[in-house]
Amino acid sequence: MRPSSSSCPLPPPPTCSSRLPQLRCFVGLRWSAPRVQVRGQLDAFAGIGSGARGCGARFRAPASSASQPCYSSTVIRNDNSQNADFPRNYSKREKKPFPIPVLELRRRARQRMKEAEGKPRGPPPPPKNGLLVQRLIPEAYRVYNARILLINNLKRLIKVVPVKGCKYCSEIHVGSVGHPFRTCRGMSSDKRKGEHDWGSTFVEAVFLPVEAYHLEDRLGPRIPHDQRFEVPRVPALVELCIQAGLDLPEYPTKRRRKPIVKIGRKEFVDANEDDLPDPEPDKFKEPILEEISDDEITPPSSPEETAALAEETLEVWETLRNGALRFMKRYSVRVCGYCPEVHIGASGHKARNCGAFKHQQRNGQHGWQAAVLDDLIPPRYVWHMPESGELQKELKIFYGQAPAVVEICIQGGAQVPEKYKATMRLDIGIPSSLKEAEMVV
């Protein structure tokens, strides 16, 4: 049979080398790009969208289809994740990871040495030269007052929003009835099969008191082991505020008005300040709040007052964490990699009071490393109560968590902040029964 001639000859059949890249691109498009986008691109490619028919359509192909992608896909990014995993609970038998890996720290050190090669070394900036960062002094007073106000507000909110604590372990729950999850690891937990024995609790279980040694001179020598009982202990956040510029009469500290004079790598002497005029006593000083005793606590009288108090507490909580994070960027904060001991200063103390895993091999010495914000202000995550008002142990994977302070404020009537919605898993539908949960893929 004689083949029919046409004005539009058919293209030759594709070979294996030219066909595979096209199939690979098409498969990628089918799963990565939206269906409407794929259809529009295919129509434009075949000439259908322009109204062309038959062989009158002009077909243009790239020069090398094997090396160029067939179509471009649109990637939509969202900075706020819908759901996020809970913070990991590290075992007591492992060391905390460094906030920045050691290899990255070494790479940055080599880069700094390479950039500073052949250049004169300038004077160190504050606070490394002994002076205070002037713009952070008013912030130190605000953070200290925010801490006092947070404690006072939590004492009032706990009178209205019930908070339960286990009698045998450190776990807490915000609600009238404790959660049913068997996660207790306290005394005689094997006899109770991991069930918690819930009871009342205090503010110290919600806002954990992290203490540190108070330094009269933050650039002075390290605290030896023999003087560990002679140095007073204060809340770590208060000590950070004192080093940032807060003046408390009960905790005196040394203030320098001239930069230190270095005479060695780790040795320095104080500059002569006799020629300076007398300092102004009340230049940055602000009024300081006082903590209210438990006998003077008055609970909110109405739901509207409770909601307003919860909103104020949530704002104070964010002010506290944001201010502490700004301090930690300029002032050094150290934490032990094995236990929760915190030290405010460039070098940790020498007290050998670490009792964590394998402390005998370290002779009780701490493994100091850079601290993160959660080491200074532990958020203390608790289970978020759903709208139904009860938790079922079979549906544990569907529930979210939030910091204890945030959960108390939310149950008190405050709005849910955007930054905590990911771990609270508010967008996850909770099944009504175990049978419905088994159907979830």
Tell me how far CA of residue 144 lies from CA of 134, 183, 247, in angstroms: 17, 35, 11
pLDDT tens per residue across span 72-87: 555 555 555 667 777 7
The domain limits of the chain are: 125-422
What pLDDT sits at residue 94? 86
Residue 386 CA, chain-centre distance (Å), reads 24
What pLDDT sits at residue 80? 56
What pLDDT sits at residue 264? 82
Question: String of b and e for 49-68 (b: at least 16 CB within 10 Å)?
Answer: eeeeeeeeeeeeeeeeeeee
SS3 3: coil
Residue 298 CA, chain-centre distance (Å), reads 33
What pLDDT sits at residue 132? 94
Query: What residues have CB less than 8 Å from 289, skipping those under 6 apart?
Result: 145, 148, 149, 152
What pLDDT sits at residue 87? 78
Alpha helices in 57-101, H assignment, sequence order:
none
Query: What residues have CB less than 8 Å from 318, skipping those under 6 apart?
Result: 417
Tell me how far CA of residue 18 lies from CA of 14, 27, 61, 67, 383, in angstroms: 6, 15, 13, 10, 56
Nearest-angstrom CA–CA distance, 15 and 6: 23
Nearest to 343 by CA among 245, 234, 248, 252: 234
Q: Exposed, middle or buried: residue 179 (CB in 10 Å: 0-12, 13-18, 19+)?
A: buried
Q: What is the torsion angle, in degrees rounded to the nearest 10, for the CA atoms of residue 291, residue 295, residue 300 and residue 301?
A: -150
What pLDDT sits at residue 34? 39
SS3 per residue for 178-212: CCCCCCCCCCCCCCCCCCCCEEECCHHHHCCCCEE
Q: What's the order of all strands across the beta sheet hosting 163-166? A: 172-174, 163-166, 198-200
Nearest to 188 by CA among 167, 159, 217, 157: 167
Low-confidence ranges of the chain (pLDDT < 70): 1-82, 282, 441
What pLDDT sits at residue 406? 96
pLDDT tens per residue across span 232-261: 999 999 999 999 999 999 999 999 999 999
Q: Are 200 and 165 in contact (CB under 8 A)?
A: yes
What pLDDT sits at residue 439? 78
Nearest-angstrom CA–CA distance, 384 and 403: 9
What percent of the chain is helix, strand and coil (3-state, nearest 5)? 35, 10, 60
What pLDDT sits at residue 184? 93
The two tokens of residue 377 are 């202000």
What pLDDT sits at residue 426? 83
pLDDT tens per residue across span 254-302: 999 999 998 887 888 888 888 888 877 767 788 899 999 988 999 999 9
